[in-house]
Amino acid sequence: MSVCHCARAFVLCLFSASALAASPDGVVAVSHPAAAAAGARMLAQGGNAIDAAAAVQFALNVVEPQSSGIGGGGFMLVYLAKTGKTVVVDSRERAPANARADLFAPDGLPLPFAQASTSGIAIGVPGTLRGVDLALRRWGTKPLSATLAPAIELAGHGFRVNRFLAEDIVNDGGRTQLQPETAAIFRPGGVPLAEGDWLVQADLARTLKRIAAGGPDAFYRGPLARAIVQAQQRTRSELGEAGRGQMTLADLARYRPTVREPLIGHYRGWTLAGMPPPSSGGLTILQMLGMLERFPLGDPAQGYGFGSPKTLHLMIEAMRLAFADRAVWIGDDDFVPVPRKGLLNPAYLATRAALIQPERRMETPLASDPTPWDTVGSSSKPGLTRAESPHTTHFSIVDRWGNVVSYTSTIEATWGSGITVPGYGFLLNNELTDFNFLPAADTARGGANDPAPGKRPRSSMAPMLLFKDGRFVAAYGSPGGATIINSVLNVTLNLIDHGMTMQQAIAAPRLSVTHAAGKVSCEGGKDHMRPEISIASQDALRKLGHAGLGALGANGCNDTIGSVQAVATEPASGARSGAADVRREGTVIRVNP
């Protein structure tokens, strides 16, 4: 087993993998080394990518509890090498059966977000455990109990707190302080855990052992289920009964994940497989690519290329247009008709791309109507939505047989609702805040992203698979709330238009716009982010009227966007490699059978 403990060191592994004629290795790329080791352990024991993904997910509940866990949900994208088939396991959280469109506006006015998001009203029915179990039963080779073993050991014996967890405890927005059970774990004696502290989570270890012995029903039924229901009935005193969670034992018992077909798109001769609704990730990325394909982004001779003002301007405008459509049209299409064919129809995309002028910034774009290019329609209007948390986690795995998992999971905000289930040691999500806070639809049709019984809130998660001539090339994805979409777009453009290696594509600075109004976020100024987005390029964007970059002559690219973890296979030789992101403690481990 060969290990690269961080993204910087991985360059050496990349060259090593490239030298192999046909590597049979498995590779894991994860945001935390202990979770990467859990996945590698499954591969070393003869397991496949699905087994490894399960072990990684459970380990992340221990070492990245602020981002992911059994109290949340996610989307697993699975490529099965033997059949060439790609499937999606949708374990997104669901609204309780009692939820209504005015869930967050019971008196016609939206509840205060800070209070609502840390109350039981925000908690969706968790799906992660059911989703992982389904994937293991259908495509894995190991029992659930075996994949839980590394996480049980990590929780019971403990691990050293890294910089990212320590910073998230300090900068928690109060979420690790509101509930005594959460504070007891992460702020013992009132003192936040610091980098290097040893964290043991005995309650969580016992919970995972209970699940290993009893299977998912030990979570979704019985004493643990009752504890979840009781925990989400907590409310912030300012909200009173309006903040009390609506989940029941019946909601937990009836939860089932959904197996879906991936969304398939094409860009400059490459094929992409991504997330369908209820995630907006796949549709929004493919929309942007469809608009940008009309421009020579990779041609410096025409003034384009990485980081040029022309390229950055076009990316911003495509993001603004796609996010305007996203706000109106995308939701859980098990409940509302999402015009996915219309949104990706070349003729519709041509009308949107025609609004992009290379030398001029457009006024704030509105959503257009793709339904003439689709077989279904919707009467949705934009609702009052909230900024999504930059946390979540993503990992990618390829095994020795060529099976691949690209998996993004979350508890929504950093620390989710901040509510730890008493006696069981895991945090509950606040995923329902991804719904519209104000009902957006007329009474006849229902809003694309309004709450409804059993409905999944719109997501931005965008695990991605990239193919060339029918052969798997790469799997990647990112955390980051709505910026997930743009992180994946940046990496895709870097690979295809700018000819970067996977590690270069991940390390390069990113640009993001997540609203039609168009405030720009971008990265730069750090050693690992090369090539930089120059001051000259930033000034050119400022002169076009793009907001968010600050004053002329200054470096306005100071954000941190996403954390991409990727695996890749060289189609001709079969050599496998991975690439990790230094924005977190990204780790790649290659497993030799």
Which residue, among 163, 7, 4, 3, has the nearest Cα to 530 in the 3D structure?
Answer: 7
CB 448 within 8 A of CB 331: yes
| Phi and psi torsions of 152, nearest 5° | -60, -45
| Tokens describing residue 326 | 């996203």
How far is 95 from 127, CA to CA, in rounded Å? 11
| DSSP conformation class of 262 | P
Kindly give the pairing relationship between strand 587-591 and strand 26-30.
antiparallel
- The count of other CB atoms within 10 Å of the CB of residue 539 is 17
- The count of other CB atoms within 10 Å of the CB of residue 160 is 12
Q: Give the mean pLDDT per block of 10 residues along the chain (593 residues).
A: 41 30 74 96 97 98 97 98 97 96 91 93 98 98 98 98 96 93 97 98 98 98 98 86 95 97 97 96 97 96 96 97 94 92 95 94 92 63 53 91 96 94 97 90 62 95 95 94 94 96 94 92 78 92 94 91 93 88 90 82
**408 carries an active-site annotation:** no
Burial (Cβ within 10 Å: 0-12, 13-18, ≥19) of residue 78: buried
How far is 118 from 219, CA to CA, in rounded Å? 22
pTM for the full predicted model: 0.92
How far is 169 from 414, CA to CA, in rounded Å? 9
Q: What's the per-residue H, E or C state across 147-173? A: HHHHHHHHHHHCEECCHHHHHHHHCCC
Quickly list H helices, 83-143.
Answer: 113-116, 128-139
CB 397 within 8 A of CB 28: yes
How far is 313 from 385, CA to CA, in rounded Å? 26
How far is 593 from 590, CA to CA, in rounded Å? 10
| Tokens describing residue 161 | 């707190």
Position 531 scores a pLDDT of: 83
- The count of other CB atoms within 10 Å of the CB of residue 242 is 18
3-class SS shares of the chain: helix, strand, coil, % to 5? 35, 15, 50
Position 450 scores a pLDDT of: 93
Torsion of CA 135, 140, 142, 144, to 10 degrees: 0
Find where tokens 């931005």 sit: 460
Which residue, among 427, 426, 455, 235, has the nearest Cα to 336 in the 3D structure?
Answer: 455
Position 518 scores a pLDDT of: 87
Position 384 scores a pLDDT of: 53
| Phi and psi torsions of 90, nearest 5° | -95, 105
Torsion of CA 511, 517, 519, 522, to 10 degrees: 0
Sequence-distant (≥ 6) Cβ neighbours of residue 52 within 8 angstroms: 26, 28, 38, 39, 40, 42, 43, 397, 399, 405
Catalytic residue among 392, 393, 514, 569: 392
How far is 588 from 579, CA to CA, in rounded Å? 7
